[in-house]
Amino acid sequence: MATTPRFQIAGSILSGDLLDLAGAIRLCEKAGADLLQLDICDGHFVPTISFGEEVVKRTCQATKLPVEVHLMVSRPQDWLSRMRGMGHFRTIFHLEASQRAMGMVQAIVADGLKPGVAINPETPAVALEPLLPYIDNVCIMGIAPGFAGQTMLEYTFTKIADVKALIRKTGSSATITVDGGVKSANAKRLVDAGADILVVSSGIYQHATPEKSLVELRGMVG
């Protein structure tokens, strides 16, 4: 009988060569990522501008890996129709960017997608409690969002435990993703704290041998 993996790794191409996105996708695949995360950055909610729906569509066509979209945008509701039919399986939006978070969750479900909610470092875990029974995933930002390569905030480990406790309290089946600052050196602590999915970006592309980066990370977790 196959065993359930202890955790999954989402490869983010945000730190890859943006002039060779196909190559960046291939590197994630060769490294052994379980899924791809595409960060949509609007230059407003976060200072970075990344890419839009066409890249999501082409990525979903170019890879056999599951693809999720992380909307780091100031008006996520405006992006739902733009993202419809692109081929991804999950849409994550930021709690801080939505005045009607439950409406966003319902709209994502109505599109046949799995809803996820991301929270920035300054947002307390308890802010998620009303949404937890209705969402598929919580994405905890370990850094100020928008720039890859930052060092993870130490508070992230406590926050994972806080979210995990709320998930149990509400009877939610939501998984926990940690995004930002994930490295081989802290991966075990993150998984031990309760993380189900680790988003890795610069940890792949800035590694001396990117194809071996995730094997090394998995080995550190054990």
Q: Per the domain annotation, does 166 fall within a domain? A: yes
Q: Per the domain annotation, does 125 fall within a domain? A: yes
CATH number of the structural domain spanning residue 167 = 3.20.20.70
CA distance 100 to 97: 9
Confidence of residue 145 (pLDDT cuts 50, 70, 90): confident
**Structural domain tally of the chain?**
1
Identify the pLDDT of residue 211. Answer: 95
CB 201 within 8 A of CB 163: no
Is the pLDDT at 148 greater than 90, yes or no? no
Q: Is the model more confident about 145 or about 22?
A: 22
Nearest CA to 220 out of 193, 184, 179, 196 is that of: 184
CA distance 62 to 221: 30
The pTM assigned to this predicted structure is 0.95
* Residues forming a β-bridge with 36: 11, 67
Q: Per the domain annotation, does 164 fall within a domain? A: yes
- Looking at the annotation, which residues are catalytic? 39, 179
Identify the pLDDT of residue 222. Answer: 82
Mean pLDDT value across the chain:
95
Identify the pLDDT of residue 5. Answer: 76
Q: Per the domain annotation, does 1 fall within a domain? A: no
Is the pLDDT at 147 greater than 90, yes or no? no
Average pLDDT on 141-148 reads 83
Query: What HEC string does 10-48 produce?
Result: EEEHHHCCCCCHHHHHHHHHHHCCCEEEEEEEECCCCCC
Q: Per the domain annotation, does 2 fall within a domain? A: no
